[in-house]
Amino acid sequence: MGERIPRAYAVLTGPARGGTVAAVTLGDAELLTVTFVDNGGITRAKTVPADRAAAAAAVGIGASTTFSVFTGLDAMGSARGLEVPTGDLRLVADLDAHVEDGPFAWAPADLVDLDGAPWPTCARTFARRMEDAAAARGLTCAMTFETEFNVWDADGAPLHAQPAYGIEATRAAGAYLLALVRRLRALGVPVDQVHPEYAPGQLEVSVGVTGPVAAADRVVLVRDVIRTVARELGLRASLSAKPSTDGLGNGAHLHVSLWRDGANLFGTGYDGYGMTSEGRSFLAGVLAELPALVAVVCASPVSYLRHGPSRWTGVYGCWGVENREAPLRLIQGHRASRPDSANVELKAVDASGNPYLAVGAVIAAGLHGIDAGLALRDEVAIDPATMEAAARAVLGIAPLPADLASAAEALRGSEVLRTAMGDTLHDTLVAVRVKEDADAVGLSADELCERYRFRY
């Protein structure tokens, strides 16, 4: 994971994935869990004894092709016949990205068909393809996810109470926070910040930046560690976008910076904000695709219960400098850390969104903006919810999708994302969103929150 892995967790040596891997060992690990994230945002897993690691990396582990259309509730959408339980795919463990945690080891997987070709709905392959597309243009993306979540004790009481961000809340959650940071650091994950958030029992952890695929790998591991540490301490954690109707929701904000020849294109320009022309066009491309991107990064019906005006969730299509009500927030960073610290935050993301699809889709949208020479609209320096509707219309500021059905339709109509993803991935993703929405019909907000509370 990432570029600074302790020696105890050093990558394995051996031939490239898909070849013959000889005499692979996993240190003291006895089990290897291999994961992928499906279109419904669920991290699926297969586990093998550690002495089967070589086979998991060479020929993979079998899995049904129907996982291509699974929803977050284990129902199936309908697209391209993949809901029919015939055929097989393989989960090929990427042991270069593995980590060990005592008797347990973990590795992300690429999905391939029985001939070893990339499976068309493999989100990790899509993310890698988009990372490579940026590299082919001489561009590098650095990314990371923030992770918000809730923790309760064995009696169901929040791990801390307000005041928000307070020292008392920090101390109340201190034992859990310490255990979380220790475990992440032992696994080679650099922790930047960890603290209580606004709602009772809500916490956030921020980790170091890395490349797009590695950032998605890293947040899958982070989410697993959040839940595992809670379980070990007799606690329970939820990463749901809206664990209950009477509290704020959890985001998984994606931070992105764009680089060429060692220069940060969001921090070395002369447009008054620090952006270069390429950086502006990249941001314009992401802004143009925001309605469809919402469907990618917000997979569950409760994602849209979290969204709302004046809640720091960014529900109007705009961008702004350090504007927490803008869905695209340009963060310039402290003067002492510029220009390297400049980045853009995509606020709509939550843990129901497949992180590999998130990083890939953002790159695809941004590269389209560069290729098409898109011009970036003026920034919004206030809460757009405080503007009259007519004033927003003049500035081209439209509401983003307010429910899963609307988001699915925006995704269906995105030719930019269809071209980038390929027809099969795009169609299955839309189908999963449509099915997830249909299965929510008639349920109250309370029922939806309860249904999804511990799915992610």
Asked whether residue 101 falls in the same domain as residue 136, the answer is no
Please give the pLDDT value at position 29. Answer: 94
Q: pLDDT class for 131, splitting at 50, 70, 90?
A: very high
- Give mean pLDDT, residues 164-168: 91
Helix, coil or strand: residue 437: helix
CB-CB contact of 364 with 304 (8 Å): no
Asked whether residue 259 falls in the same domain as residue 390, the answer is yes
Asked whether residue 264 falls in the same domain as residue 318, the answer is yes
Asked whether residue 109 falls in the same domain as residue 146, the answer is no
Please give the pLDDT value at position 339. Answer: 84
Rounded CA-CA distance 340/149 in Å is 28
DSSP-assigned letters across all residues of 332-387: ---GGGTTTT-EEEE-S--TTS-HHHHHHHHHHHHHHHHHTTPPPPPP--S-GGGS
Q: pLDDT class for 187, splitting at 50, 70, 90?
A: very high
Look-up of token digits 């291999």? 34
DSSP H/E element including 237: strand 236-238
Give me the number of domains the chain comprises.
2
> Distance between terminal CA atoms of the chain?
21
Please give the pLDDT value at position 49. Answer: 96
- Assign residue 11 the CATH number of its domain: 3.10.20.70
Token readout for 51 is 């002495």
Residue 2 lies in a domain: no
Asked whether residue 269 falls in the same domain as residue 411, the answer is yes
Please give the pLDDT value at position 151. Answer: 98
Higher pLDDT, 391 or 3: 391
pTM attached to this predicted model: 0.94
Residue 422 lies in a domain: yes
Asked whether residue 380 falls in the same domain as residue 243, the answer is yes
Q: Which of 317, 326, 316, 301 is nearest to 240 (CA)?
A: 301
How many C-beta neighbours within 10 Å does residue 315 have?
22
* Residue that terminates a domain, selected from 73, 98, 118: 118
Angle between helices 212-232 and 174-186 (to 10 degrees): 130
Asked whether residue 379 falls in the same domain as residue 360, the answer is yes
- Tell me the pLDDT tens digit for each residue of 316-354: 999 999 999 999 999 998 877 888 899 999 999 999 999
- Tell me the pLDDT tens digit for each residue of 260-272: 999 999 999 999 9
> In whole numbers, what is the pLDDT of the chain averaged over residues?
92
- Tell me the pLDDT tens digit for each residue of 69-83: 999 999 999 999 999
Asked whether residue 113 falls in the same domain as residue 134, the answer is no
Q: pLDDT class for 24, splitting at 50, 70, 90?
A: low
* Residue that terminates a domain, selected from 88, 118, 148: 118
Cβ-proximal residues to 103 (8 Å cutoff; 6+ apart), any chain: 28, 29, 30, 31
* Residue that terminates a domain, selected from 118, 139, 156: 118
Residue 1 lies in a domain: no
- Assign residue 333 the CATH number of its domain: 3.30.590.10
Q: What domain range is 307 assigned to?
A: 128-452
